[in-house]
Each structure stands twice: as structure tokens, then as C-alpha cells.
Amino acid sequence: QEQLVESGGGLVQAGDSLRLSCAASRRYPVGWFRQSPGKERVFVAFISWTDDPVYEDSVQGRFTISRDNLKNTVMLQLDSVKVEDTAVYHCGRYVRGSVRSPFGYESWGQGTQVTVSS
């Protein structure tokens, strides 16, 4: 099995922008999830094999998921970030079930930390 690799996290101020990358060896449907200490992993965004996006309500209009077909990577553009966006961001390969559930994914990466200061 393949393990996806996330990158691009860092420390930013509220209102700033950041772009995360998820590298894979093939063109998969990919979802982005995030997890804060003591909390469960929650859905952020998904991109299908036809490049149709799905977003969680709290990031709708602020985050944009896209695909770089030449590099087999999926990007997550974070704009107008909020302190509440602070989390470890993970990407996974979608396999089955609801795209909003982390249990339908596999090949999770180690994650990349996004910290938003006020």
C-alpha cells in the first residue's frame, strides 16, 4: 500500500493564506481531513476522480481543493484562515462509503501542522 505525503504547513496569522500539498504515485480520489489534540479527525475537503469538489461547511468559500495532474498531487489552498483552522492536516486515498467519513480512506500520510495565530 502507498502512504501519501503531506507538506506545506506552517505558522501563519489569522487572515493569511497557505497551500498544502498531498503527493501520491497515482491519480486517486483524495480527501483532506484535520485533527486537533484530543479531538477526532474531521472532514475538510474532497476531490473526486472527475475533479468534482466537496467541502465541509466551515471552510466553504475559504478553502479550495485542486489537482495537479502532471505531478499526481492534490492541493488544498487555505485562504482567510482562522485560529479555529489550527490542526494537523492529513490527506487520504478515498476507498468506500461517505467521502465525509475518515473510515472510508486509506494510505494516510503523517500529516502537516497548520498553526494560526490571532
Q: Is-contact 91 109, C-beta < 8 A?
A: yes
Mean pLDDT of 53-63: 97
> Does 37 or 33 have the greater pLDDT score?
33
Which of 76, 72, 71 lies closest to 90 in space, CA to CA? Answer: 76
How far is residue 50's CA from residue 42's CA, in Å, rounded to a whole number?
23
Residue 36 pLDDT greater than 70, yes or no: yes
Residue 1 pLDDT greater than 70, yes or no: no
pLDDT digits (tens, 9 = 90+) for 74-109: 999 999 999 999 999 999 999 999 999 999 999 999
Q: What are phi and psi of 49, to 5 degrees?
A: -70, -20
pLDDT, residue 63, reads 98
